[in-house]
Amino acid sequence: CGSGLSGDYISDEGHYWIGMDISPAMLDVAVEREVEGDLLLADMGHGVPFRPGMFDGCISISAVQWLCNADKKSHSPPKRLYRFFSTLYTALARGSRAVLQLYPENSEQLELITAQAMRAGFTGGMVVDYPNSTKAKKFFLCLFVGTSGPLPKGLGTECAAGEELHQAKFTNERTRFRNIKGKSVKKSRDWILEKKERRRRQGKEVRADTKYTGRKRRPRF
């Protein structure tokens, strides 16, 4: 929650809120500003320490990507992300939503964050504002607990021809290549098709799928 700037807007809208931050200095600023919300000194990577179904919603601004960093030897980014998302899922009431704005360093980091959110039980997807801009571009991970709703429309997502850009979505369904048992799935046809599909969702140029995709060639002399 930082110094509670976003909390002021939540209070103005008539909501009660509890903010958590890992920085004592930022929380001290929030106390000096006399914000109306309750404040908690905590590390997101240790989880959200609240009773099940306690909250109707959650917002986060430029915080989740820091869980991808291993600041200590004991830190495991996938485990810390899963701990955060799993406890957040428990703390949210059924039918509630979470909107987490973040700045991923690369596509791999974005995949890691969304994969751990999906593993924790969330549904939803990524909404991108101004995807063609380098300065105004923003990523919003919109998550749903229980029944999923329509994703909001990102700002600046209309192309010149009036067509809307596709937004990255994910569900709690397992991918095809994960269902194979007893075989090495890496570099298999399904594994390659899944990887190409992920890159397409990220807006990267990928060659079209053909009957030769993932074929095994004979070893050369």
- pLDDT tens, position by position, 42-59: 999 999 999 999 999 999
**Six token digits for residue 191:** 């594994």
| Residues forming beta bridges with residue 61, ordered by sequence position | 101
Please tell me the predicted confidence (pLDDT) of residue 25.
95
Report the sign of the C-alpha dihedral through residues 84, 79, 3, 40, in that order. Answer: positive
Give the pLDDT score at 171: 47
Taking the CB of residue 84, how many other CB atoms lie within 10 A of it?
25
pLDDT at 6 over 80: yes
**Which CATH number does 43-145 carry?**
3.40.50.150
Q: pLDDT digits over 137-174, tens only? A: 899 999 999 877 788 888 887 654 455 544 554 444 44
Q: What percent of the chain has pLDDT over 70?
A: 84
Contacts of 137 (CB under 8 A, 6+ apart): 128, 129, 130, 131
Span 17-28, average pLDDT: 95
Beta bridge partners of 102: 139
Q: Domain residues of the chain, as ranges? A: 43-145
pLDDT category at 183 given cuts 50, 70, 90 is: low
